[in-house]
Structure 1
Amino acid sequence: MAAAELSDWIGRVETREVALSPVVMRQLAATVPECGHSPEAVAPGTPLPPLWHWPAVQPHVAMHDLGPDGHPRLGGFLPPVDLGRRMWAGSRVAFLAPMRVGETVSWRSEIRGIQEKHGSAGRMVFVTVGHEVAGEAGPAVREEQDIVYLPMPDAYRPPAPRPAPDAPEFDQQVAIDAPRLFRYSAVTFNAHRIHYDRPYATEVEKYPGLVVHAPLQATLLLGAAVRHTGSVPRHFGFRGVHPMFDTHDLRLIGVAEGDGLELCTAAPAGHQGLRARADWTAPTAAGA
């Protein structure tokens, strides 16, 4: 579609009400035990850990509405960009009020911007979606999510590696394998095939292995930051700089800087995967 036609999607809104299901939250706790919450302890009324709202608020897309990559077909809420690969590139999240397991929340999504760029991979289209979540205590989470559309490659060409910090405050290694990626896909109702279908990931999208979800990396990384500081930040922002795969474990790294932590995931080889920042006193949502 031409840029003018894509701009017609700006301002589209989608709303729904969802329950922060104790069953789903226990499944997530079992999938990310490094966050420090046992499934048995995740009971109705307990505070919801940061970013754990993501599994609950994913749309329930019927099978006939899925595209060949497992994503929801384009042309409904999201614009029909004529590029074969779609990824969650990053987010900026503000935590406004606590939510609790079991409560019902309202979710509002709005397409706020569509921008076309050209880079080394060719034409790219970025779609910015704003999300607002309100719970029983009022507005709880405000988020801007960046979705990037890219052409389907004919071979894997990794981006230039960015080295991990040399002297971090913490550096934790987390095991990554196909069962964990499958579980996270299941608990978030995410059918994107690069995370669990190895032949599709390697033969169609040309990755060297199964791809670790950006929100899984963000959840583990923010969980490590909360354990390190003992409190939930006001703002958290992240962006992907290099794909991570099930062929290696994942490092969770944090460095104190100003009123927050500079964070990243990294491969054992030393290059970063997800760059992030958590702020406790910043007045605006932090970018990564």
Structure 2
Amino acid sequence: MAVDMDLQDWIGRSQEAGDVLRAQPAQFMQATLDREPSLKDGDLLPPLWHWLYFLEAKRASELGRDAHPKKGGFLPPVSLPRRMWAGGRLTFHHPLILGQAAVKRSTIKSITEKSGRSGSLCFVTVAHEIIQNDQCALTEEQDIVYREDPAPDAPTPQPAPAPDNPEFSQVITPTEVMLFRYSALTFNGHRIHYDVDYARQVEGYEGLVFHGPLTATLLVDLARTEMQKSPKRFSFRGSAPISGSASFHLEGRRSTDGIDLWARRQDGALAMSATVQF
């Protein structure tokens, strides 16, 4: 399917945002994960916790039906209503330091429209650079997917099974408080994370949806704990949503050049896969 010329015009658009990596959001993140809020200025920011910063605050009148900002500003005006963060790739060049200023530069890298089993899809890839102390600390590519609303009589997609050979594992039990706190920390107004009626009746989920970025954050944290070292590269891809209150597993095993990771739902389905290189 060819890319609509109006959407094509968004490729190459860029924006820049500055922020001070204050310790308080990182402390609040620690508390959200049931950890002692001990991080302070001068400490290193844990991997993927940069998503707590450089946040955009749109007026309430500038939000769409799902409480995300309306499309057509920096992101292209894709007509499909459902938005998900499908995956990403990150390279960690230098540690980010709490208490210091940083700059985030973002560019629309590609826009691709496709047809899938569930209907029309549009993939938007955004490239980011985070600069601190005049050096690039982190580069990232985010894959955002837009989808159609599910038809009332549409069959539930059958996700692929997760691997069954983990070397280590961790159980995560979602709570409404955890989802609310992470939404608040990232200023994410997407209703699928706190409005269960909207999640079920409009977007077709079984319940509140566990944040994909939070799943990725917990996976890289598990790998860092297992290896006792900081990652150099991390990539992840969402395969199926985690929704409802059932516990799920974060699992992994060592590979020739790092760790392969995945999130396994209670029904055995693969929710997210990831790789870490050190």
TM-score between the two structures when normalised by the length of structure 1: 0.92
Matched, 1:85 2:82: yes
Structure 1 unmatched ranges of 5 or more: 281-288
1:98-113 matched pairs, under 5 angstroms: 98-113=95-110
Identify the residue that residue 198 of structure 2 maps to in structure 1: 200
Identify the residue that residue 11 of structure 1 maps to in structure 2: 12
1:49-128 matched pairs, under 5 angstroms: 49-128=46-125
Cα distance between partner residues in 1 of 2:69 and 2:89: 23
1:1-288 matched pairs, under 5 angstroms: 3-33=4-34, 38-39=36-37, 41-136=38-133, 138-155=135-152, 157-280=155-278
Cα deviation, residue 84, structure 1: 0.8
Cα distance between partner residues in 1 of 2:57 and 2:100: 19
SS at match of 2:50: coil
Cα deviation, residue 160, structure 1: 2.6
Cα distance between partner residues in 2 of 1:269 and 1:117: 29
Cα deviation, residue 101, structure 1: 1.4
What is the one-letter code of the residue matched to 2:126? V
Cα deviation, residue 2, structure 1: 6.4
Cα distance between partner residues in 2 of 1:25 and 1:240: 25
Cα deviation, residue 167, structure 1: 2.4
Cα distance between partner residues in 1 of 2:124 and 2:142: 8
Deviation track 1:26-63 (CA, whole Å, cap 9, x = no partner) reads 11111124xxx521x11111111000000112222222
Cα distance between partner residues in 1 of 2:18 and 2:91: 20
Cα deviation, residue 137, structure 1: 6.2
SS at match of 2:200: helix
SS at match of 2:49: coil
**Comparing 160-169 and 143-152, the one that deviates more:** 160-169
SS at match of 1:117: strand
CA contact (8 A) 2:3 2:111 kept: no
**Comparing 267-276 and 161-170, the one that deviates more:** 161-170
CA contact (8 A) 1:99 1:136 kept: no
CA contact (8 A) 1:153 1:206 kept: yes
Cα distance between partner residues in 2 of 1:113 and 1:275: 22
Cα distance between partner residues in 2 of 1:120 and 1:273: 18
Q: How many residues align?
A: 276
SS at match of 1:221: helix
Identify the residue that residue 283 of structure 1 maps to in structure 2: none
**Comparing 159-168 and 256-265, the one that deviates more:** 159-168
Cα distance between partner residues in 2 of 1:266 and 1:175: 12
Cα distance between partner residues in 2 of 1:187 and 1:258: 36
SS at match of 1:273: strand
For residues 18 and 70 of structure 1, do their structure 2 counterparts lie closer, same or farther at Cα, with a shift above 3 Å needed? same
Cα distance between partner residues in 2 of 1:222 and 1:32: 14
Cα deviation, residue 3, structure 1: 1.0
Deviation track 1:141-180 (CA, whole Å, cap 9, x = no partner) reads 1000000010111347543322222221211101111111
CA contact (8 A) 1:212 1:245 kept: yes
Cα deviation, residue 4, structure 1: 1.2
Cα distance between partner residues in 2 of 1:243 and 1:198: 14
CA contact (8 A) 1:159 1:241 kept: no
Cα distance between partner residues in 1 of 2:104 and 2:82: 26
CA contact (8 A) 1:25 1:52 kept: yes
TM-score between the two structures when normalised by the length of structure 2: 0.95
Deviation track 1:64-88 (CA, whole Å, cap 9, x = no partner) reads 2211101111110011111110110
Cα distance between partner residues in 2 of 1:218 and 1:272: 13
Deviation track 1:105-152 (CA, whole Å, cap 9, x = no partner) reads 100000010001111011111001001001126111100000001011
